[in-house]
Chains A and B, each alone.
Chain A
Amino acid sequence: MYVNGVTLKNRGIPDSHRLSVYESTGGYQALRKIFSEQVTPEQVIAEMKTSALRGRGGAGFPTGLKWSFMPKGVSGTKYLLCNADEGEPGTCKDRDIMRYEPHRLIEGMIIGAYAMGARAGYIFIRGEFIEPIRRVEAALEEAYAAGFLGERILGQDFSFDLYVYRGAGAYICGEETALMEALEGKKGQPRFKPPFPASYGLYGRPTTINNVETFASVPDIIVHGGQWFLELGKANNGGTKIFSVTGHVQRPGNYEVPMGTPFPELLEMAGGLRPGRSLKAVIPGGTSTAMLAGDTMMDCTMDYDSIAKAGSALGAGSVIVIDDSVCIVRVVERIARFYMHESCGQCTPCREGMGWLWRVMHRIENGQGRAQDIELLLNVGSRIEGRTICALADGGVAPVVSSIKLFREEYEHHIRHGQCLVGQRRAA
Chain B
Amino acid sequence: MLSDQALAAIAAERRKYPADQARSALLAALRIAQEEHGWLPTELIEEVAQVLEIPSIQAFEVATFYTMYDLKPVGKHKLCVCGSVSCFLNGSDDILAHLQKRLGIGIGETTADGLFTLQEVECLGACKDAPVLHLGDQYLERLTPEGIDALIEQLRGGSSDVR
Chain A contact residues, CB within 8 Å of chain B: 77, 86-92, 94-95, 122, 126-131, 163, 165-171, 182-188, 203, 244-248, 252-254, 283, 287, 318, 320, 322, 326, 331, 334-335, 337-338, 341-342, 426-428
Q: Is the CB of B27 within 8 A of A287?
A: no
Which one of B3-11, B59-67, B101-109, B110-118 contacts A? B59-67
Known contacts A253-B128, A427-B93: A338-B122 contact under CB 8 Å: yes
Shortest CB distance B7–A (Å) = 18
Q: Is the CB of A252 within 8 A of B130?
A: yes
Known contacts A166-B27, A334-B84: A187-B125 contact under CB 8 Å: no
Q: In this assembly, does B86 line the interface, its C-beta being within 8 Å of a C-beta of chain A?
A: yes
Known contacts A168-B31, A254-B128, A334-B83: A184-B24 contact under CB 8 Å: yes
Shortest CB distance B48–A (Å) = 11
- Find chain B residues with CB under 8 A from A129 CB: 125
Chain A residue with the shortest CB-CB distance to B26: A185
Pick from B18, B22, B26, B122: contact of A341, CB under 8 Å: B122
Q: In this assembly, does B45 line the interface, its C-beta being within 8 Å of a C-beta of chain A?
A: no
Which one of B131-139, B144-152, B153-161 contacts A? B131-139
Q: Is the CB of B23 within 8 A of A184?
A: yes
Q: Is the CB of B89 within 8 A of A331?
A: yes
Known contacts A128-B68, A169-B68, A187-B61: A244-B128 contact under CB 8 Å: yes
Q: Digitize B3-40: 1 where CB-to-A-CB distance is under 8 Å, 0 elsewhere.
A: 00000000000001010011111111011000000000
CA distance A87 to B124 in the complex (A): 6
Q: Is the CB of A170 within 8 A of B89?
A: no
- Find chain B residues with CB under 8 A from A337 CB: 83
**For window 58-83 of chain B, which residues contact chain A by CB distance below 8 Å?**
58, 61-62, 65-69, 80, 83
Q: Is the CB of B86 within 8 A of A90?
A: yes
Chain A residue with the shortest CB-CB distance to B54: A185
Known contacts A167-B27, A182-B27, A427-B93: A95-B125 contact under CB 8 Å: yes
CA distance A385 to B69 in the complex (A): 32
Known pairs A168-B66, A252-B129 / 10 extra A-B pairs, C-beta < 8 Å = A92-B126, A126-B125, A127-B31, A129-B125, A165-B16, A166-B28, A168-B27, A247-B89, A320-B127, A334-B83
Most chain B beta-carbon contacts within 10 A, residue among A92, A166, A188, A428 = A92
- Using a Cβ cutoff of 8 Å, how many contacts connect chains A and B? 150
CA distance A145 to B32 in the complex (A): 26
Q: Is the CB of A131 within 8 A of B139?
A: yes
Shortest CB distance B136–A (Å) = 8
- Find chain A residues with CB under 8 A from B88 CB: 331, 334, 427
User: Could you write out 20 A-B pairs with CB less than 8 Å apart?
Assistant: A89-B84, A89-B127, A90-B86, A92-B127, A126-B125, A128-B124, A165-B28, A166-B27, A166-B31, A183-B24, A184-B23, A246-B89, A246-B128, A252-B129, A252-B130, A254-B128, A318-B127, A320-B89, A334-B84, A342-B122
- Find chain B residues with CB under 8 A from A182 CB: 27
Chain B residue with the shortest CB-CB distance to A322: B89
Shortest CB distance A146–B (Å) = 20
Pick from A95, A130, A248: contact of B138, CB under 8 Å: A130
Chain B residue with the shortest CB-CB distance to A182: B27
CA distance A322 to B134 in the complex (A): 25
Q: In this assembly, does B2 line the interface, its C-beta being within 8 Å of a C-beta of chain A?
A: no
CA distance A163 to B16 in the complex (A): 7
Q: In this assembly, does B90 line the interface, its C-beta being within 8 Å of a C-beta of chain A?
A: yes
CA distance A302 to B84 in the complex (A): 24
Shortest CB distance A365–B (Å) = 12
Chain B residue with the shortest CB-CB distance to A345: B65
- Find chain A residues with CB under 8 A from B127 CB: 89-92, 244, 246, 252, 318, 320
CA distance A252 to B126 in the complex (A): 11
CA distance A185 to B84 in the complex (A): 27
- Find chain B residues with CB under 8 A from A287 CB: 84-85
Most chain A beta-carbon contacts within 10 A, residue among B69, B125, B134, B137 = B125
Shortest CB distance B15–A (Å) = 9
Known contacts A166-B31, A171-B123: A338-B85 contact under CB 8 Å: yes
Shortest CB distance B86–A (Å) = 4
- Find chain A residues with CB under 8 A from B130 CB: 246, 252
Q: Is the CB of B125 within 8 A of A92?
A: yes
- Find chain A residues with CB under 8 A from B86 CB: 89-90, 246-247, 252, 320
Chain B residue with the shortest CB-CB distance to A287: B85
Known contacts A188-B65, A334-B83: A94-B18 contact under CB 8 Å: no
Shortest CB distance A329–B (Å) = 13
Chain B residue with the shortest CB-CB distance to A85: B125
CA distance A61 to B126 in the complex (A): 25
- Find chain B residues with CB under 8 A from A427 CB: 88-89, 91, 93
